[in-house]
Amino acid sequence: MLLSGPMKSGLQVSRLLAQPRPALLALADGSVFHGFAAGAPAAVAGEVVFNTAMTGYQEMVTDPSYHGQILCLTTSHVGQVGVNEIDAESDRPWARALVVQDLDLEPSSWRSEESFERWLESRGVTVGWGFDVRAIVRRIREAGAVPGVLSATDDVDAEQAVAMARQAQGTDGCDLACEVACEKTYTWSEGPWRSPSHPMSLPEVPQDVVVVDLGVKRSILRRLVAEGFNVTVVPPTTTVDQVLAHDPAGVLFSNGPGDPAAVVGARALAESLLGRLPLLGICLGHQILGLALGARTVKLPFGHHGGNHPVRELATGKVLITAQNHNYAVEEASLPREVVITHVNLTDGTVEGLALPRLGLEAVQFHPEAAPGPNDALGLMTGFAERCRSFVR
């Protein structure tokens, strides 16, 4: 068996060669890919998607937006910097399973608190390694984001796994946001990680903001703190009166998993808030605000997942390299005439941003908080803070 990647230590080699468990990934179209298993010995079903980012595996696995999905990473080595508590986007892994080419067993980073492999195993995540991820990606690009099964157990063979994949449900019609969102309101005060020698400076007069949790990443909350907000996070079932009772300067609809058209409660809340105070939507929140304006959403063939997606800001012509993670998009032709399209994806032309200045609304499909990913779009969070300060009720 070949060990890809950099030179392995004696511990790594012994663990990898000590009777590696076989694993297979079966797709609903009948495709089967073979590799080895780590983590929980189980057969796990989910919608198979791929992410092209080269860093940020811990952030991706703990991102609630991956709930219901088997995540395939295209980068060559995963686990090389271990894991730590600070980089987690939530308090648990949300990806149903993980598929990689190479899984490094011994981290090399001063910030590491535990190896990624042991962290995944202790949390019951099923992992496939040694897979030809390039072949998997090529198949998904042809077949679309289809249901699949990662089998890391002798109890499920290839034929059974294909049959399970064909019976598995994708994300269409599923309100997965309700499964990952908080059940009770809470406050957040932690800012982005900074070196002790470079402390974070905050505005002297903070503002209050309400975040509607559809599967919010902690990096979004940290970025809001950095922009001078007092952050209150509420469940998607919160009523408009309950939101306004916090007297916020603005409301943010967060990222999250699943089909936006199925998240009925959040859409109704957004409709009730239109024009009453500044609104910002990110990822699923962008789609929810689009629906609240009367638009439709559509599922993309295999979605946008990665940290290198080029987006043009139409007002300036500037190109932003963005981090993205979504399978659905707002249909441009369905938008009301007065809605302004602010950003466009340069790869497939899909809507990446929209605004309705009259109602104080702005939304972007990408992740401006940049975790993981480039920070080209951080200014959008600053712009939201400025809109909240200048909005006239």
Q: Check if 182 is active-site.
A: no
| 364 and 261 in a common domain | yes
32 assigned to some structural domain:
yes
Question: Domain range holding 353?
Answer: 177-390
What's the sign of the alpha-carbon dihedral 265, 267, 271, 275? positive
Supply the pLDDT for residue 228. Answer: 94
User: Would you call the peptide bond into 64 cis, given omega within 30 degrees of 0 as the criterion?
Assistant: no
| 380 and 246 in a common domain | yes
1 assigned to some structural domain:
no
Which of 167, 188, 218 is the last residue in one of the domains?
167
352 assigned to some structural domain:
yes
| 297 and 258 in a common domain | yes
The active-site residue out of 72, 178, 369, 388 is 369
In a structure prediction context, what are the per-residue pLDDT tens digits for the chain, which is 393 residues long? 334 444 444 445 555 556 789 999 999 999 999 999 999 999 999 999 999 999 999 999 999 999 999 999 999 889 999 999 999 999 999 999 999 999 998 899 999 999 999 999 999 999 999 999 999 999 999 998 899 999 999 999 999 999 999 999 888 899 999 999 999 999 999 988 765 555 566 666 689 999 999 999 999 999 999 999 999 999 999 999 999 999 999 999 999 999 999 998 999 999 999 999 999 999 999 999 999 999 999 999 999 999 999 999 999 999 999 999 999 999 999 999 999 999 999 999 999 999 999 999 999 999 999 888 889 999 999 999 999 998 866
User: What are the distances in angstroms from CA 186 to CA 165, 211, 212, 231, 330?
Assistant: 38, 10, 11, 9, 30
The active-site residue out of 178, 286, 367, 388 is 367
Supply the pLDDT for residue 204. Answer: 66
Supply the pLDDT for residue 3. Answer: 40
List the CATH number of the domain containing 133: 3.50.30.20
Q: How far is residue 307's CA from residue 305's CA, in Å, rounded to a whole number?
A: 7
Task: Give the tens place of pLDDT for each residue, 107-147.
Answer: 999 999 999 999 999 999 999 999 999 999 999 999 988 99
Q: Terminus-to-terminus CA distance in the chain, angstroms?
A: 66
List the CATH number of the domain containing 222: 3.40.50.880
Supply the pLDDT for residue 46. Answer: 96
Which of 117, 138, 167 is the last residue in one of the domains?
167
| 349 and 201 in a common domain | yes
| 275 and 134 in a common domain | no
| 183 and 90 in a common domain | no
148 assigned to some structural domain:
yes
Q: Check if 367 is active-site.
A: yes
| 182 and 163 in a common domain | no
| Number of domains observed in the structure of the chain | 2
| 121 and 263 in a common domain | no
User: Which residues, other chains included, contact 299 with Cβ-Cβ below 8 Å and sequence gap of 6+?
Assistant: 145, 172, 259, 327, 328
Which of 147, 167, 187 is the last residue in one of the domains?
167
Note every long-range contact of 315-322, with CB atoms under 8 Å and residues 24 or more positions apart, other chains counting. Answer: 315/342, 319/346, 320/366, 320/374, 320/376, 320/377, 321/374, 321/376, 322/352, 322/366, 322/367, 322/368, 322/373, 322/374, 322/376, 322/377
5 assigned to some structural domain:
no
135 assigned to some structural domain:
yes
| 188 and 136 in a common domain | no
287 assigned to some structural domain:
yes
4 assigned to some structural domain:
no
What predicted TM-score, i.e. pTM, was given to this entire model? 0.92
Strands 340-345 and 361-364: unpaired
Q: Check if 369 is active-site.
A: yes
| 194 and 343 in a common domain | yes
The active-site residue out of 283, 309, 362, 388 is 283
| 232 and 154 in a common domain | no
| 247 and 141 in a common domain | no
- The number of beta carbons lying within 10 Å of the beta carbon of residue 139 is 19
